[in-house]
Amino acid sequence: MERTLAIIKPDAVKKRVIGKIIQRIEDEGFEILAMKMLHLTKEEAKQFYYVHKDKPFYESLTDFMSSGRIVVLLLERENAIKHWREVMGATDPAQAKPGTLRRLYGFSVERNAVHGSDSPQTAEWEIQFFFK
């Protein structure tokens, strides 16, 4: 069993697809171990995405991620990290495979509906960030 962190981003919350995304999470065999809704400050968004601090999209991304409520979920499943990233699809919704969450609900490479950890180390850090 493995754990990963998932986020339903502000664009998907505004679009009212929280329910659809959570249904998909359960249909994919994930157990939801913890879940909460919150509104990140700009400073918290910058901390969470610190790894991207030198990227050209850092300011815009952290503005977006602090622009509205998000839902944060702690998920458990066999191969959770890789499986959740497959369910999300590619970062750019236009490149994501049909049926993936980003293809279904994403708007742009920035406003792409969902987040997922990318490695066991990242998952541990991200889970600690939200669920101490």
Judged by CB under 6 A, the chain residues 43 through 62 that form the site for ligand UDP are 52, 57, 61
Decide if residue 91 touches ligand UDP (CB under 6 A): yes
Decide if residue 129 touches ligand UDP (CB under 6 A): no
User: Which residues are CB-neighbours of 9 under 8 A, at least 6 positions away?
Assistant: 64, 65, 70, 111, 112, 113, 114, 115
Stretch of 12-20, 23-31, 76-84, 109-117 contacting ligand UDP, by CB under 6 A? 109-117
Residue 22 partner contact from ligand UDP, Mg ion, none using kind-dependent CB cut-offs of 5 to 8 Å: none
Among 118, 124, 125, 131, which residue sits at the site for Mg ion (rule: CB under 5 A)?
118
Q: How far is the C-alpha of 27 from the C-alpha of 78, rounded, in Å?
A: 14
- 76 contacts 70 by C-beta, under 8 angstroms: no
Q: Cα angle vertex 83, ends 118, 8, to 5°? A: 70
Residue 3 partner contact from ligand UDP, Mg ion, none using kind-dependent CB cut-offs of 5 to 8 Å: none
83 given a catalytic annotation: no
Query: Minimal CA–CA distance to 28: which of 92, 90, 75?
Result: 75
Residues forming contacts to Mg ion in the complex (CB under 5 A) are 118
